[in-house]
Chains A and B, each alone.
Chain A
Amino acid sequence: MYEADRALVSRMRAGDQRAFDEFFKDSAPRLIAFIARRTALDPATLEDIVQSALIKAVRHLASYRGEAALFTWLTEICRNELADEHRRANRRPAHLSLDEPEAAHRWGGMLRAPDVHEPVSLLQAAAERAEIVKVLDGLPANYALVLEAKYGDGLSVETIARQLGLTEIAVQSMLARARKAFRRRWQRRPAP
């Protein structure tokens, strides 16, 4: 089913530069978007996570067996990276006393409060985005994948079909089912 992905990985393992170019061009921006939708990471941390995930992926290409889409495999690596980051963050002190003048001075520039000049509409949009991503994450993985590819990454049905090793008709059908599932869950979500 994922013959194209398996072939791409085989070419990469053989040292084919064009395969790497294709892999990076297709995967990196989507992976960045995938994480950005689910987290509030600053750009530098986002960059670190994506870089770590992709490095792990290229080091372990042999473990990709084509049982899922290559992008799905990458998102799993990313989820692990995010979980590691979360664990690391939890090991750090949760708070710092600002009673100490030195500490207050030291941390004054780092504390991030909501920007009072930030339009309320932006804050509402961020909340709605989080809701939508939550609903998406509750859908079957392939539904979320095609919806993100279509609406988030702006990929055509043709491209999605090629990446998933499906026919365009099959992708259209999957998109229709995915939208229906999304609509049902969106309308039934608990009131905030």
Chain B
Amino acid sequence: MTDERSPNSDSAPREDELLISALRTPALSQDALERVRAAVEREWLAATVAGAAPGSQRTAPASRRRWFALAAAVVAAVGVASWLARPPAPARLLGSVSRTDEGALSVQSAHLPRRNLMQGGELRVGDRVTAQGPALVVLARGGTLRISAKSELAVSSPSQISLERGLIYIDIPSATGPGNPLRIITSAGAIEHIGTEFEVLSDDQAVRVRVREGRIRFVGRTNTVVAGAGTELLAAPGKSIVQRSIDTFGRDWSWTAALAPDYEIEGSSLIRFLQWVSRELGRPLNFADANARQIADRTILHGSVRHQAPIDAMSNVLATTSLTYEIRGGAIWVRSGTSAAL
């Protein structure tokens, strides 16, 4: 079918150009559209299930229609059974639970009853998660999500989480960052990481974001703020955003270290292991002397430090080498036996 044109107007082409130039607008990114779709689809599913519950059938006359009713009931039962028995299409995956205590993490999906998740359990789009205890989730697209006790969140898409209340920590190494956006929706705005580690504390009144490494973008209703490492943002719906400097290490972060994923040291270089410890503790890694750096570079580790906190793992690993460490001025200092005392 071709387009029509008003035959008696010389200005028609000019109008067409005007209208096209004014009305063609850049669309949202595909990722944004996907996020919207996931959120709307979840609500649609919930509304459909809720709307199907109330019964509204009228009672059929018993004598004349008994057999028809029975037959209809059988057909309906078979239909419902078939519908229920059909294999559901799996929703898209956010990640898998790597660590949690029994009964600490429960999930409600659109068509399923609430259930507990254990290690290896999967979080998928549409899941609503309640954490009674801490949990570590390895994200399918790279990085980890750590959930503190008494948190509630919903998975809107493989790249979006709605934090309804509680405390979470996101660690997405920069190597997986730029092409792997993750968005956290809170009552006061959205947080987008730019390859980073950050913590979000949120309820229906306010949100606190603490950036430990890299940068995040906080997108409020009217403002967008980019915050770097060592920054805390406090925001509430309709209020100004407050920003201040914080330490990236110390007691406030200890809950994240307790949920750190295990580091597999077998075959890893010592320096990579130390860099991992440095990120987990939020403390820069420094070498007191060139020799220490060379040793860390060329040492290959064997064995396991599973189930050890990062600081304990570092102590145990370095005890098997000629290197020692000290925490000083917020940083980790590693030195060789030949260097002078710090």
Contacts and interface: CB of A to CB of B under 8 A. Distances in A.
Nearest to B242: A106
A104 interface: no
A47 B223 contact: no
A69 interface: no
A125 to B, nearest CB: 7
Interface string A119-149: 0000001001100110000000000000110
B14 to A, nearest CB: 9
Give the dominant DSSP class at A's interface: helix
B28 A179 contact: no
Interface in A4-41: 12-15, 20, 24, 28-29, 32-33, 36-37
Interface in B1-55: 1, 3-4, 6, 9, 11-12, 15-16, 18-29, 32-33, 35-37, 39-41, 43-45, 47-49, 51-52
A88 B238 contact: yes
B21 A125 contact: yes
B254 interface: no
Nearest to A56: B43
A129 B26 contact: no
B241 A54 contact: no
B23 A54 contact: no
Contacts of A150: 3, 19
B1 A55 contact: no
B59 interface: no
A89 B328 CA distance: 47
B66 interface: no
Interface residues of B, number: 52
Contact of B23 (A32, A148, A172, A186): A148
A151 B190 CA distance: 33
Contacts of A156: 1, 3
A151 B238 contact: no
B36 A132 contact: no
Contacts, number: 144
Nearest to B219: A44
B73 interface: no
B222 A92 contact: yes
Contacts of A80: none
A13 B15 contact: no
B53 to A, nearest CB: 12
Contact of B25 (A109, A128, A152): A152
B11 to A, nearest CB: 6
A152 B24 contact: yes
Interface of B: 1, 3-4, 6, 9, 11-12, 15-16, 18-29, 32-33, 35-37, 39-41, 43-45, 47-49, 51-52, 190, 219, 221-226, 237-243
Given A51-B39, A151-B19, 5 more contacts: A13-B51, A20-B41, A43-B32, A88-B237, A152-B23
